[in-house]
């Protein structure tokens, strides 16, 4: 059984809480967009939460770990830290002026806003 995440191929690994709220799903769509843009590789947070050995090893190989959380509960950040990882970039969607609710009809402008914010932070992280 292959336990590795077969997403994109670079050393920026992106994890999103993908929570069941607008902000959680905006984070999920942001991770997808960043992967489509070739900025990072969207990894499976659930594999980290489940301590799946192959996924833990794949994550150790990452150079820049990015956590996207919908809100201040910070489930993605806490899951990664619980598994012993240090996060290089962390964003909470609700801190970018997007109020948390449970309307899953997402506004594409919100996804663009978070995507641009993180793309800029990640490029600085890679340079620095
Ligand atoms: S960080 Fe917030 S939005 Fe994301 S899973 Fe946790 S509680 Fe839900």
Nearest alpha carbon, ligand 1 atom 7? 73
**Spatial separation of the C-alpha atoms in residues 12 and 59, rounded to whole Å:** 10
**Spatial separation of the C-alpha atoms in residues 109 and 28, rounded to whole Å:** 14
Using a 10 angstrom Cβ sphere, with 0-12 exposed, 13-18 middle and 19 or more buried, the burial of residue 103 is exposed
Query: 52: how many CB neighbours lie within 10 A of its CB?
Result: 17
Ligand 1 center to residue 63 CA distance, Å? 25
Q: Each residue's pLDDT tens digit in the chain (128 positions)?
A: 545 454 444 799 999 999 999 999 999 999 999 999 999 999 999 999 999 999 999 999 999 999 999 999 999 999 999 999 999 999 999 999 999 999 999 999 999 999 999 999 998 776 65
Mutate to test the pocket of ligand 1, among 15, 16, 18, 19 (most ligand atoms within 8 A of CB): 19
Query: What contacts 61, CB < 8 A, 6 or more positions away?
Result: 11
Ligand 1 center to residue 53 CA distance, Å? 24
Question: pTM of this prediction?
Answer: 0.91
């Amino acid at each position: 059984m292959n336990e590795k995440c077969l997403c994109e191929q670079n050393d920026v690994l992106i994890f999103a809480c993908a929570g069941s709220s607008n902000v959680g799903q905006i984070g999920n769509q942001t991770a997808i967009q960043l992967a489509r843009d070739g900025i990072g590789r969207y990894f499976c947070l659930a594999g980290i939460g489940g301590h799946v050995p192959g996924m833990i090893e794949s994550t150790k190989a990452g150079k820049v770990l990015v956590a996207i959380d919908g809100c201040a509960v910070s489930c993605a950040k806490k899951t990664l830290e619980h598994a012993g990882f240090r996060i290089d970039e962390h964003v909470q969607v609700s801190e970018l002026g997007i109020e948390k609710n449970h309307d899953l009809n997402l506004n594409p402008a919100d996804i663009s806003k978070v995507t641009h914010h993180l793309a800029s932070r990640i490029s600085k992280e890679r340079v620095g």
